[in-house]
Every structure is written in C-alpha cells, then in structure tokens.
Amino acid sequence: MINIRIDKKLKEKCNVHIVSIEAKVKVGNSDDRLIDVINKTCKKIESNIKQEDILKLKNIDSSRKAYKSLGKDPSRYRLSSESLVKRVVKGMGLYYVNNIVEINNLVSLESNYSVGTYDLDKIKGEIVFSVGEEGERYDGIGRGSINLENMPVFKDEEGYFGSTTSDSTKAMITEDTKHILMNIIAFENDEKLSDYLEFASKLIKEHANGVILDTKIIF
C-alpha cells in the first residue's frame, strides 16, 4: 500500500484512526443489488433517526469534537458523514454518481464516519493526514472553494486533496479510475473499525469487480 501517516500536529489534538483499503476496481453504474442495499439502509435511517438526534450519534459527535479541538467550527464546515445522514433523514436519499461513490457513501452511512475514496493514479508520493494551514484552500467536489485552515486534511507531495468535510477535484473518482484508496476516518477508539473494513472490502469486491490489494488501520 502507498505510505500513509498521521502528522504529529493532528495526533496531538485528536485520537485519529484511519481504516485504509487499496484496490483495483471497475467504475461504472451501480448494479441493482447495490441500489437495493442503499435503499434499505436509507429507509432504516429514516425510520430510526430524527433530525434532532443526528448530532448525538456517537461517531458524528466524536468527529465534531475533533473539529472543535482543532479550532474548526463543525456547524459551519459540516462533516461529510453528518451531511449524508441529514440528507437521508430528510427523505432525500442519496445522489447516484457511480458504484465507487455509492459504496463510499454507503460505508459512511453505516459507520457514521467521514469516508474519502481517491484515484491513486492522481496521487503523488507519501500521503499525510494533517491540519490545514492558514490561507490554504482547494475546490471541493460540487462545493466550490473550501477554507482548509484548521481542518483535518490529506495531502500528497503536490498539496492537499481530501478532507473530512469535502474532497477536492484533484483525485476524484471518474469512469477512468482503476486504482483506488478508500479511507474511513475515526476520531476515537472504536472496536468496530475492523468490521467497517470488512464491510467496505466486501462491497468493493461484489459491486465494483474489486481486487483488494492491501488493507490496514493507521493510528
């Protein structure tokens, strides 16, 4: 697997764990079986979670606390996991892009953690999970320019490309993507991380013709 490390500056502020999966995949439209799993998951969330309870969900709460410890307002810069759950609770369901994006979102809904999936052919050198510096920005996917200061961010030797709020367009998944890295980001000790890794790997293999090259939990 490509080398991934958590920067000391982030470790000092947060209890960070990254579940990483490297895989070869075939990107395309989601099959009916995957759509069915997503629909069932969305219905379960709609039935069991109220709008006012979203911020109380354990894994969203721990991630919001991490933002606060870094000096980032989680109400202004909402976690991608929180945004997904809110969308589903409102009855809006998920937007459909391709099988890898849908798997990414399904894993986030099941875990309540932010999940980022990247085209590894567009990433150069070592990946570092760090804290955004003052004045740093990038174009988020469908979000425009995002202020990265004090935000947990992934960077390679060319610069920042992902965060727990919104990933950039630099390494986004397209129909030409063949080699991916999926990161599940937890800001707490969680005995279920191995379960989430297994769940995500199974989805990649079953719904994206995936070949898992490597997996690990980094902390």
Write down the pTM of the prediction: 0.96
Q: What is the pLDDT of residues 96-134, one digit of tens each?
A: 999 999 999 999 999 999 999 999 999 999 999 999 999
User: Which stretches in the chain have pLDDT values below 50?
Assistant: none
Second-level CATH architecture of 4-218: 3-Layer(bba) Sandwich (3.50)
pLDDT at 161: 98
Contact 103, 47 (CB under 8 A): no
**How far is residue 5 CA from its own chain's centroid?**
16
Distance CA 208, CA 59 (A): 27
Give every CB contact of residue 107 below 8 A, 6+ residues apart in sequence.
115, 182, 184, 196, 199, 200, 203
pLDDT at 57: 98
Q: Where are the domains of the chain?
A: 4-218
